[in-house]
Chain A
Amino acid sequence: MIFFVLAGYFLWVVYPMLWVAYSSLKPDDAIFRNAFALPSMDALQWKNYQQAWREAHFGEYFLNSVLVTSVSVASILALGSTTAYALSRFYHPLGNVLYGLFLAGLMIPVQLSIVPLFFELRSIGLLNSKLGLILVYTANGLPFAIFILAGFFRALPRSLYEAAVVDGCSETSAFWRVMLPLARPGLITVAIFQFIGIWKEYFFAFMFTSGAREESVRTLPLGLGNLSVAAQYHTDYGMLFAGIVMVTLPILIVYLLLQKHLVKGITDGALKG
């Protein structure tokens, strides 16, 4: 029984992905003739990918996405881990207030912040720039990172820090060499969640970078959106599917590589490893 339920669920989840993947190898007319048929093996349309990459500028979008996502995730990890460590390890009268403020960031819907953010970015001249987008993503990802990582640092026994200090660590090296490596599952959890979130992020990207005339700042989701919107009279579905695959594949790969750590990270935080 469980088997059938799971098998059904598997199909429910995986079939659409497969459908997109194999449709991306079909020419347009084949898609319209029979939307669900497999592509004919002797006429695989790799050219869909070529087209998407070159003509639809997906190459550029892809690089932009890689840059924006990696810098944002790296900044979130660097700032989040140090902040979480400071908040959880050192006592300060305002420490809990600060922590509460960060957590409040989790509870504010992003839609509410969009207008002030827009004007803010415009006034400092970072509208339509990758740096502006990175700043927004980083700030937006910090509360989650701090929430997860503070839990990790709190769960680490204090005596580990003390052992490190007696062994010869300074405050900084105790953090780098002992505490941070032990929070690795938490770091990986944060990295995956943020990577996925930022990689496929459309709303902020649309609001803050779609004014740019040229492709140079657009990220993949925005490019994908443009592809379907811009081609109002004729949509090249094959190319669209190819684009979708290009957007999805990196997420799948990263997730598969790190999913073991992800599960560990989630349960570790909960169970106080």
Chain B
Amino acid sequence: MATVVIENLVKSYADKNGPGTTVVHGINLEIKAREFMVLVGPSGCGKSTTLRMIAGLEEISGGQVSIGGRVVNDVLPKDRDIAMVFQNYALYPHMSVYENMAFGLKLRKIPKAEIDSRVREAAAMLGLENYLDRRPKALSGGQRQRVAVGRAIVRKPKVFLFDEPLSNLDAKMRVSTRAEISKLHRRLGATMIYVTHDQVEAMTMGDRICVMKDGRIMQVAEPMELYNNPANLFVAGFIGSPPMNFLHGKIQRETERYVFVENNSSGQPVKIPLNEKLSAKVSARIDQPVILGIRPENVRNAIHGSAMTNLRIEVAEPMGAETFLYLSSGAHSVTARVQPDQRFELGQDLAVMFDLDHAHLFDPATEQAL
């Protein structure tokens, strides 16, 4: 098991005429031994490119990657002691499941008996014993995915790399396979780097999550830390579903307290008196613009005169266990996650309160959390 250290990693492509395109801008990241690190971000954020540079499938334009203390910039993929699971599985169509799994071992001249025992062990672990003679074409998507994982396991590599391995599965398969990969990680105790664009996968699987955008790392943290204390606007909006609500406005001082006043030219602006914790952050920002971020579950229908404002109900989505309300202040739409036991009339005003203990403030210019 090995640590993977990425230092000032850069990837740029040469343009025919021009300065070229840089897709990864000098990122730094340390993945500890036995850690499950998830790289997450929207498409085009450079997460797959980063993974492929770790694998050696993509040339490194700058900086360095080391695996287990050895700089591997100029080491061939086959000599990096890694295994990779591809998005489309990349199983060899002309080989049986057994041969697919044994292929890497055969190339490494491992004795036949050893190959056989490793393949059968992995097959048993993944429930593939009955399919060893089949060709990939005769397998379902979930089974193919497991063969791809099995092909990686038998190699006993230092580092496992996953490139969006679940995105070709249907929703149900995705949930169960997600859990299986997590279990596998615990069982093998291997270092794993997992790329996905799905923040749910990232939250549920990762020991730590690295959120990327436009070739830069936005934040690296444990899942709940990321959720509770996003470092910037991007992470706040990316992690969590439905996403965090953002209200653009400014800070005003009213007698003894600070108040957040929404920018709203068309109607009555929402005014939210800030609590102590938030007040401390904005004391120097009177009359300056800020963004108030609040998660849907922290927007509640008010009881006993705790109402802070009234918002119009535009859409109600009953999900069974909870109901999502899409509310509007005229200038902003706000999503609320509420108990399903109440009937909501569309078009009516709802008295709501914001749980400010879980609210966040961001600087609109730098997009960083205050």
Q: Quick check: is B84 within 8 A (CB to CB) of the other chain? A: yes
Per-residue CB proximity of A153-197 to B under 8 Å, as 1/0?
A: 000010110111111111001000110011010000000000000
- Give the interface size bracket for A toward B: 10 to 19
The answer to whether A159 and B103 touch across the interface, beta carbons within 8 angstroms, is no
Per-residue CB proximity of A138-159 to B under 8 Å, as 1/0?
A: 0000000000000000000101
* 295-342 of chain B: CB within 8 A of chain A: none
The answer to whether A168 and B94 touch across the interface, beta carbons within 8 angstroms, is no
- Contact A166:B93 (CB < 8 A) given known A159-B88, A173-B107: no
The answer to whether A168 and B107 touch across the interface, beta carbons within 8 angstroms, is yes
The answer to whether B88 and A166 touch across the interface, beta carbons within 8 angstroms, is no
- On chain A, the residues within 8 Å of B94 by CB distance are 181-182, 184
The answer to whether A163 and B107 touch across the interface, beta carbons within 8 angstroms, is no
The answer to whether A178 and B55 touch across the interface, beta carbons within 8 angstroms, is no
| Selected contact of B92 from candidates A160, A162, A170, CB within 8 Å | A160
- On chain B, the residues within 8 Å of A177 by CB distance are 103
Q: Shortest distance in angstroms between A176's beta carbon and chain B's nearest beta carbon? A: 11
The CA-CA distance from A129 to B57 in the complex, in Å, is: 48
The answer to whether B92 and A166 touch across the interface, beta carbons within 8 angstroms, is no
| Selected contact of A167 from candidates B56, B57, B78, B87, CB within 8 Å | B78
The CA-CA distance from A163 to B107 in the complex, in Å, is: 13
The answer to whether A163 and B86 touch across the interface, beta carbons within 8 angstroms, is yes
Q: Quick check: is B239 within 8 A (CB to CB) of the other chain? A: no
- On chain A, the residues within 8 Å of B87 by CB distance are 159
Chain A interface mostly: helix
Per-residue CB proximity of B81-98 to A under 8 Å, as 1/0?
A: 011101110111110000
Per-residue CB proximity of B52-72 to A under 8 Å, as 1/0?
A: 000111000000000000000
The answer to whether B92 and A178 touch across the interface, beta carbons within 8 angstroms, is yes
What is the chain B residue whose CB lies nearest that of A160?
B90
- Contact A166:B107 (CB < 8 A) given known A159-B88, A160-B90, A181-B94: no
The answer to whether B86 and A159 touch across the interface, beta carbons within 8 angstroms, is yes
- Contact A167:B103 (CB < 8 A) given known A162-B57, A181-B94, A182-B93: yes
The CA-CA distance from A170 to B87 in the complex, in Å, is: 22
The CA-CA distance from A159 to B92 in the complex, in Å, is: 10
Residue of A168, A169, A178, A184 ringed by the most chain B CB atoms within 10 A: A168
The CA-CA distance from A165 to B90 in the complex, in Å, is: 12
What is the chain B residue whose CB lies nearest that of A181?
B94
Q: Quick check: is B277 within 8 A (CB to CB) of the other chain? A: no
Per-residue CB proximity of B146-157 to A under 8 Å, as 1/0?
A: 000001000100
- On chain A, the residues within 8 Å of B92 by CB distance are 160, 163-164, 178, 182
- On chain B, the residues within 8 Å of A169 by CB distance are 78, 107
Residue of B86, B90, B107 ringed by the most chain A CB atoms within 10 A: B90
Q: Shortest distance in angstroms between A118's beta carbon and chain B's nearest beta carbon? A: 44
- Contact A168:B104 (CB < 8 A) given known A162-B57, A163-B84: yes
Q: Quick check: is B77 within 8 A (CB to CB) of the other chain? A: yes
Q: Quick check: is B172 within 8 A (CB to CB) of the other chain? A: no
Q: Shortest distance in angstroms between B100's beta carbon and chain A's nearest beta carbon? A: 9
The CA-CA distance from A169 to B105 in the complex, in Å, is: 11
The answer to whether A159 and B93 touch across the interface, beta carbons within 8 angstroms, is no
| Selected contact of B104 from candidates A160, A162, A167, A184, CB within 8 Å | A167
Besides A162-B90, A166-B82, A167-B104, 20 more A-B contacts (Cβ < 8 Å) are A159-B86, A162-B77, A162-B86, A163-B84, A163-B86, A163-B90, A165-B56, A165-B76, A165-B77, A166-B56, A166-B77, A166-B78, A167-B78, A167-B83, A167-B107, A168-B104, A168-B107, A173-B107, A182-B92, A182-B93
Q: B interface vs A, CB < 8 Å? A: 55-57, 76-78, 82-84, 86-88, 90-94, 103-104, 107-108, 151, 155
Q: Which 10 A-B pairs have the closest CB atoms?
A: A168-B107, A167-B104, A163-B90, A159-B90, A168-B78, A159-B86, A181-B94, A166-B77, A166-B84, A165-B77
The 6 sampled A-B contact pairs (Cβ below 8 Å) are A162-B84, A163-B91, A165-B57, A167-B104, A168-B78, A182-B94
